[in-house]
Amino acid sequence: SSGINAEWPLRPGKDDTPQALQTESKLPSKKRYAILMGFCGDKYKGMMINPGVRTIEEELLKAFHRSSLIKSCNATDIKKLSFQRASRTDKGVSAARQIVSCNLHVDDIERSVELLNSQLPSDIIVYDIIRTTKSYDCHKYATSRVYQYLCPTYVFAKTYAETYIGYRLPQDVLEQVRTTLTFFVGTKNFFNYTSGKKMNDPSCSRYLRSIECSDPFVMGNTEWVRITLHGDSFMYHMIRKIIGMTIATTRDVTPAQYLQKSFESERCDVPLAPGLGLILEEVKQQRYNNKFASDNTRKPLVWDAYEETVRQFKADQIEKVIYEEEQKRRVVLQWVETLKMHTFYTGDVLPESLFTKPEVKSTVEGVPCSTVPMGNG
């Protein structure tokens, strides 16, 4: 269904009045725009409209309507706006630089941006509204996508005894993580890294341009790394499964050859890392820029002018939430314990030490991890 949650009011008591309809009749003509935006996905059930639950697009449509950028008759049906998002994000996933395209009634762009941000929650921001060609589709013109995954380094510890908040990643283990990640670069069949796909499905062939792991950095008492993935496109759960397999391989929960096996014809068990640390870093629109903006006839869809605003929003509204949620709910720490439930081996026996969960002292609470409140994660 393209209809949004029927429970949200457009403008209570005003939308169907003659005065409101008369005002809407005076709106400027509808034109095609790219909306450059960002958001923290922690409190939302994904990007796309889903009746009955809170989503990013529902909040955006509310703000469009309250800012008089769309008419009441179009406010509950995104098809009437020819609405498209450059990249879909799932429950809990954030975006630093996302693009949507749709038809809007815009009189003054700068004022419209200000109005939108005044109507949006603080965890959603619009950086700019840019006039595009009539047929512009941000998904179709997306050349490639960059994602980041913020990961606490204790997930790479070799034993449960080392898996605690104050863990610091040794250099040799960091290099092992980086080496493992390079295995995913290039064109490969990722049918084991998504859901509901068969090995011979051509859509499972994806090209990853690069994957890099940063040096560790400390936030609070926890050490983290940023894993940056640049690919033409990604399938459902693909990035989280790449992270999950990298963690499992580094922890020696599965033998190294299992990584190679996961790209062969047999169905393999690949763990799905939590969505909390996943950020859509950027959707690149090079194809559109080359075709329409190279001769200055159209404004290019690039992020240079907003970099400081993006950096501040990402630090305050996205990364801060990720750090605080892991500190509070232990989402990733709790997930690590589920690795022992995976059937990586075929006939072999997992080392007994991986099944034994010792009472580990947390450097934050000073109590065994087994007794630390985990939340709903």
Q: What does the alpha-carbon distance between residue 337 and residue 315 come to, in Å, rounded to a whole number?
A: 29
Give 123's contacts (C-beta < 8 A, 6+ positions apart). Answer: 39, 40, 42, 43, 317, 321
CA angle 154, 160, 164 (to 5 degrees): 40
Given a contact cutoff of 8 angstroms between Cβ atoms, the answer to whether 126 and 116 are in contact is yes
Given a contact cutoff of 8 angstroms between Cβ atoms, the answer to whether 68 and 114 are in contact is no
DSSP conformational letter for 77:
B
CA distances from residue 356 to 90, 164, 267, 369, 370 in whole angstroms, order as listed:
33, 15, 28, 13, 12
CB neighbours (10 Å) of residue 29? Answer: 7
Given a contact cutoff of 8 angstroms between Cβ atoms, the answer to whether 112 and 106 are in contact is yes
Q: What is the 3-state secondary structure (H, E, C) of 350-370?
A: CCHHHHCCCCCECCCCCCEHH
Give 329's contacts (C-beta < 8 A, 6+ positions apart). Answer: 373, 374, 375, 376, 377
Q: What does the alpha-carbon distance between residue 304 and residue 308 come to, in Å, rounded to a whole number?
A: 9
109-119 and 56-66 helices, crossing angle to 10°:
120
Q: What does the alpha-carbon distance between residue 168 and residue 178 come to, in Å, rounded to a whole number?
A: 16
Instruction: Calculate the CA dihedral of residues 332, 174, 145, 56 and round it to 10 degrees.
Output: 20
Adjacent-strand bridge partners of 186: 208
Which residues are annotated as catalytic?
Answer: 90
